[in-house]
Amino acid sequence: MYTDGRGCLRAVVWTAGILIAIRSGLADRVILLSSEGDQHIVNTSAAVGHSGLLNQLISRPCRGGDDIIPLPHVGSAELGPIAGFINSVPLHKTERAVQWVQVNLKGVELEEQCRVLTAADYLDMHSLMIAIASTRRTWSDIDAMRGFLSRNVFRFLADNAPGLIRLNQVARTARQKAIGERIHRCLVAGGHVAFVHTEPWDSGLDVLQWAAEKGRRSIVELLVTGPGIDVNAPSPSAQRLLHWAAFWGWVNLVEVLLVSPTTDVNARDNDRPTPLHCAAVAGRNHVVKVLLSFAGIQVNAGDASNKTALHWAVWSGPSSRHSEVVELLLRAPGINANARDQDLMTPLHWAVTCRRGYAVRLLLATPGIDVQCRDKAQMTPLQSALVYGNQEIVGLLVNATVNAASVVSIRLA
């Protein structure tokens, strides 16, 4: 997942910050010397403000404007980004610090991130440490960093994990706080968190299911790769994490869940709808697009009444979001636009019954659409339209039926 970070750090990460220091002709500057002898120029006041250790070293008497500060415990690969951070990030601007880390340490290997974090701890650079720890990470990523950090620095990283902080913020009851504390201990010590599935958090849901329903991405992102976690564990109504994320339109959360190799994209709840059904019925066009791009998605899966996602998208509403969902589904490879539910009704039947003119037009423009199919009551879409009395839809179906009859006549001639 990560690219080779050391080369990137040497060549790119801190360049902007150093150039700013050099080009501005700062008189108030100091040179930091890495353990390998590489020099990095930083603004003195910024260095003093960002680093407790540099504050002590620079504040010693008999120091000139261009003093060299040797840092024997900081390598060049780590000192580079640290110098860039000092020169680029204003003091006491936590959000800017987090943004800097997200941009400049993006794609850097976990081991290299750990070396920068360790160097920041040595230099007493709390703002940089917080910014690094505030990066959203999975449980498995945090656990992998354990071997590269001292016990105290790893504890700092775990304590400030965004998912854990958010979990503590939303915990209201004594039971919820106890669950949060237990998860915290497992993250720090490396224990399993399978107990999450047996401890109710709210309304019969466990904390992971609750977080998926509420769209708490940082919590889900942390827990989903935790040891012992089952991403397909059902709720009392047999809904999975992906059902909630899809129904409520949490597209980023859906993407997080689909990264897990064990996620069942076609999982079913008690009424047998899949996550695609849930997204379609709620008009979550962005989620539908993500789900349709996932390998193994079953676009024609039927629920308990044998309705497909296309049936539900047509039935659910006249909004532009539902219109886009219908379009997305009709363009999906392998889609069956003539699928029948338990009453032998096709999506076209439902579009007529629900008076969805937009859906009728989209379906009639679909190659292979059957305008003369009959439901269990032996009604064609046109006959249903006459019953429900929508003149626009009747006109569309009359033209389509005439055209279909002409094609049949030509073929028979």
Q: What is the CATH number of the domain that holds 42?
A: 3.30.710.10
* Minimum mean pLDDT range among 87-101, 228-242, 373-387: 228-242
Tell me the average pLDDT of the chain: 88
The mean pLDDT value for 8-12 works out to 43
90-109: average pLDDT:
94
Whole-number percent of the chain with pLDDT over 90: 75
Single out the residue in 298, 317, 336 at which a domain terminates.
336
Range of the domain at 163: 136-228
pLDDT (tens digit per residue) in 79-89: 999 999 999 99
Assign residue 370 the CATH number of its domain: 1.25.40.20
Position 21 confidence tier, pLDDT thresholds 50, 70, 90: very low
State whether 304 and 215 are in the same domain.
Answer: no
The DSSP code for 205 is B
Looking at residue 351, its pLDDT comes to: 93
**Res. 271: pLDDT tops 80:** no
Verify that 218 and 259 share a domain, yes or no: no
Give the pair of three-digit tokens for residue 161: 């994990």
pLDDT beyond 70 at 26: no
Verify that 219 and 183 share a domain, yes or no: yes
Predicted pLDDT at 390: 79
Can you tell me the mean pLDDT for 62-66? 50
Residue 270: predicted pLDDT: 72
Q: With 80 as the cut, is the pLDDT of residue 106 above it?
A: yes
The domain tally of the chain equals 4
Look at residues 312, 336, 360 and tell me which one is the last residue of a structural domain: 336
**pLDDT grade for 234, boundaries at 50, 70 and 90:** confident
What band does 406 get if pLDDT is binned at 50, 70 and 90? very low
Tell whether 331 and 406 lie within a shared domain: no
Paired tokens of 281: 């019925």
The answer on pLDDT for 27 being more than 80 is no
Count of CB atoms situated within 10 Å of the CB of 366: 15
Do 222 and 252 lie in one domain? The reply is no
Averaged pLDDT, 332-360: 95
Phi-psi category of residue 399: left, alpha or beta, with phi > 0 → left and psi -120 to 50 → alpha: alpha
Are 53 and 104 members of one domain? yes
- Whether 11 has a pLDDT exceeding 70, the answer reads no
Instruction: Pick the most confident of 31-40, 265-274, 386-395, 402-411.
Output: 31-40
Which range (214-218, 237-241, 331-335) has the least confidence?
Answer: 237-241
Regarding whether 194 and 262 lie in a shared domain, the answer is no
Percentage above 70 pLDDT, the chain: 89
**Distances from the Cα of 394 to the Cαs of 180, 340, 341, 381, 407, in angstroms?**
59, 21, 23, 9, 20
Say whether both 40 and 119 belong to one domain. Answer: yes
The reply to whether 125 and 51 lie within a common domain is yes
349: pLDDT strictly greater than 50: yes
pLDDT band at residue 173 under the 50/70/90 scheme: very high
Report how far residue 225's alpha carbon sits from residue 161's, in angstroms, rounded to the nearest whole number.
14
pTM (two decimals): 0.79
Residues 204 and 258 in one domain: no
Under the banding of pLDDT at 50, 70 and 90, the label for residue 300 is very high
Q: Domain check: are 76 and 166 in the same one?
A: no
Instruction: Give the model's pLDDT for residue 75.
Output: 96
Looking at residue 260, its amino acid is: S
Residue 6 bridge partners (DSSP): none
In angstroms, the CA 279 to CA 248 distance is: 8
Whether 220 and 304 share a structural domain: no
Q: How many CB atoms lie within 10 A of CB 208?
A: 24
Mean pLDDT calculated for residue range 262-286: 91
Is residue 56 scored above 60 in pLDDT?
A: yes
Last residue of a domain, one of 134, 166, 183: 134
